[in-house]
Amino acid sequence: MKTLREYPDVGELVVGTVSSVKDYGAFVKLEEFPGKEGFIHVSEVTTGWVKYIRDHIREGKKIVAKVIDVNESKNQINLSLKRVTDAQKRKKMQHWKNEIRGRMLFERMAAAMGMEPEEAYEQFGYDLIDVFGGIYPAMEAAVLEDNVLEEEGFEGEWVREFVKMAKDNIAPPFVSISGTLIVSSEEPDGVEVVKEALRKAESIGENIEIHYIGSPKYRIKVTAEDYKTAEKAMKAAADAAIEYMESRGEGNLAEFDRKGE
């Protein structure tokens, strides 16, 4: 994939294909920076002593590495494997795969508009990458917010085609789940007690919203990047409200119904 930058930044995560392995380290072809190769010294392959480097890295393997040094005058890019966590590897690899798909869709759109891919990139593709960080993130933004491209200053017939392509092919990058929280209080200042319980629930995270359904029911909505994260936040929010109401003693009720209406 062509990029606007010739070299990666220090601290950046990059995807590469191992091209050569020596006893002293490995050379890696950088997938996002065509023509560039990085080097992983044996001391940066894994924590601890490395007896046989090929036990940890082999030719042809796709890897995610962290850039630890860049010397443009010498065309040298030093990388590290051991400084990348498993979670970072998964996230970066998924981002890279998404961007490949995004660019395939972009080039398909360009062809449908009678444009060569490079012409489309030059006219607006590289600007999308510069503003949104990639073609795929630009598509995600277009799916989430109808006028986001116009708000960023983009214009032309291609905008409508780009948004349509994104909505036809890209799922929203977040998931939303909801449940019903039943909260009531018989205390003299019961209204304030209920409000405080709801505040306790909302304070768990910015991705949590609570809406009034009809006393004593309140809808909890959680938005997250995956269902597991959303369910965890939902439980934490409900537990916060329930624990507060229980601490108030008799006459106070809080229950949670994950599938309730």
Topology agreement, domain 87-169 and domain 175-257: no
What's the pTM? Answer: 0.64
pLDDT recorded at residue 179:
87
Domain 175-257 -> CATH class: alpha beta
Tell me the three state secondary structure of residue 205.
coil
pLDDT recorded at residue 4:
63
What b-and-e string marks burial along 203-223, b requiring 16 or more CB atoms within 10 Å of the CB? ebeebbebeeeeeebbebbbb
Query: Beta 175-185 vs 62-71: how paired, if at all?
Result: unpaired
User: Which parts of the chain sit beneath pLDDT 50?
Assistant: 1-2, 261
pLDDT recorded at residue 158:
95
CATH topology of domain 13-84: OB fold (Dihydrolipoamide Acetyltransferase, E2P) (2.40.50)
CATH of domain 87-169: 1.10.150
Closest by Cα among 245, 253, 260, 252 to 199? 245
